[in-house]
Amino acid sequence: MAPVEIKGLKKSFGSHPVLKGIDLDIRDGEFVCFLGPSGCGKSTLLRLIAGLEDPTAGQILLGGRDVTDVPSAKRNIAMVFQSYALYPHMSVRKNMAFGLSLNGMARAEIERRVAAAAQILQITDLLDRKPKQLSGGQRQRVAIGRAIVREPVLFLLDEPLSNLDAGLRVSMRVELAALHERLKTTMIYVTHDQVEAMTLSSRVVVLDKGTVSQFGTPLELFYRPANLFVAGFIGSPKMNFFATPSRGTAAREITVSGEGFRNSVTVGLSEDMSCPAGTALTLGVRPDAISIVSAGSGHLSARVDLVERLGTESHVHLSLVETGQRVTAIVRGTHPVQAGEETDIRFDPAHCHLFDAAGKALPRALDSETLGLIEREKQARTAHATKEETHG
């Protein structure tokens, strides 16, 4: 087990910068996800930590040791690849033992480790099969087994579940969480699936265009996104944004209103902020903080374009009458709204976010229940990591 420190890490391919200076401090025993859209640099960052790419600048420290120029084989890191990357001509047993035998480990010890990993992953009866005789889920287990037997200080997982079908992905996700709980090794997991990131990780690194947009616990990302990108990326359907200049400030609150707004919206802040009237701000409202109300009684008038009925909830896609902007709302499954209707939408100010002209979030006030939840999650993560350090 080892903490991972990344300092000023940059990577360019030719003249194209992929990572523009990454600083991260991952604690011992943490399960951290790198989350971001395609091309944001998350896989490149993982490959740099693995030693499969050389950084253009910066440092990578593993357990306090600078490993920036250390070959990947000597970093004591194991990686699980998206395509599993099993050796097709070797049996499962040989796949798992390959790295150990290369390092000259005694045969008895290799067999002990392979048997132990196979038992954890419930693949003991598959040990003599070739990869082509295995299903996708079984191959994934073997790939994880190959990583486990090496008893590395750090696991790197590059979108390991993306090739599995939806059902298997959910069960493998649960197994991965259990595996982390059991092995208590630092794990870094790359994904573009926010559900995986939110459910598995103790902390999530949200990457955008080669920079860290936010590094925090899943609930922090959801309830206190640091900027417009994180606010738009975390949560499905996406947060709705409205250009709403400031109409004035009071103690720990800002009132905003935009084009077509029938009423202004007053958003609570966690601290006093000076924001003169007319300052460009963006109002962010998650779909579940929007209600559909009768015409004339909400903040904005809208036309219902489409209603997606999912059972327990319905996703309502609307166009604002004044600006034509698209808005998504989540209502209860039995809500009678229908496509083609003219209606009004109303925002719940307690669940609204504000962002300045640079896209940076203003510190919003949270209710005590949400604050308590975030705090409990933080404490659980800290306690877990501290426990790992004590074990280590």
Partner 1 sequence: MRKLLIHSALTLFAVLFILPFYWTFLSAVKSTAELYQFPPVFWPAEWHFENFAASWGKLPFNTFLWNSTIVVVLSTIGQLISSSLVAFGFARYRFPGRDGLFILLLATMMIPWDVKMIPLYMEFNYLGWINTLKPLIVPSYFADAFFVFMLRQFIMTIPLEIDEAARMDGASSFDIYWRIHLPLMMPALILVGTIHFMNAWNDYLGPLIFLNDQSKYTLTLGLALFKNPHDVDITAVAAITTLLCLPPLVLFFFAQRYIMEGAVGSAVKG
Neighbours of 339 (CB within 10 A): 12
Neighbours of 360 (CB within 10 A): 11
Residues near 316 by beta carbon (within 8 Å), at least 6 away in sequence: 292, 304, 306, 307, 308, 328, 329, 330, 331, 335, 337
Report if residue 103 touches partner 1, rule: CB under 8 A.
yes
Report if residue 89 touches partner 1, rule: CB under 8 A.
yes
Distance CA 175, CA 180 (A): 9
Site for partner 1 in 153-212 (CB under 8 A): none
- Find where tokens 């000259």 sit: 104
Report if residue 62 touches partner 1, rule: CB under 8 A.
no
Given the complex with partner 1, which of 147 and 179 has the nearer CB atom?
147
Helix, strand or coil, per DSSP, at residue 337: coil
Binding region for partner 1 (CB under 8 A) out of 74-82, 311-319, 336-344, 371-379: 74-82
Which residue from 14, 64, 108, 132 is in contact with partner 1, where contact means CB under 8 A? 132
Q: At what angle do helices 107-120 and 92-102 cross, to 10 degrees?
A: 130
Given the complex with partner 1, which of 75 and 224 has the nearer CB atom?
75
Which residue from 24, 79, 190, 254 is in contact with partner 1, where contact means CB under 8 A? 79
Report if residue 91 touches partner 1, rule: CB under 8 A.
no
Report if residue 88 touches partner 1, rule: CB under 8 A.
yes
Report if residue 139 touches partner 1, rule: CB under 8 A.
no
DSSP string, 75-86: TTEEEE-TT---
Site for partner 1 in 40-59 (CB under 8 A): 50-52
Report if residue 87 touches partner 1, rule: CB under 8 A.
yes
Given the complex with partner 1, which of 131 and 216 has the nearer CB atom?
131
Which residue from 21, 59, 68, 98 is in contact with partner 1, where contact means CB under 8 A? 98
Instruction: Name the strand (E) or helix (H) holding 381.
Output: helix 368-391
We find the least distance from the C-beta atom of residue 46 to partner 1, in angstroms, to be 11
Burial class (CB in 10 A: 0-12, 13-18, 19+), 353: buried
Distance CA 262, CA 264 (A): 7
Asked whether the beta carbons of 320 and 327 are under 8 A apart, the reply is yes
Given the complex with partner 1, which of 101 and 334 has the nearer CB atom?
101
Given the complex with partner 1, which of 95 and 217 has the nearer CB atom?
95
Q: Tell me which residues touch partner 1 (CB under 8 A).
A: 50-52, 72-73, 77-79, 81-83, 85-89, 98-99, 102-103, 132, 146, 150
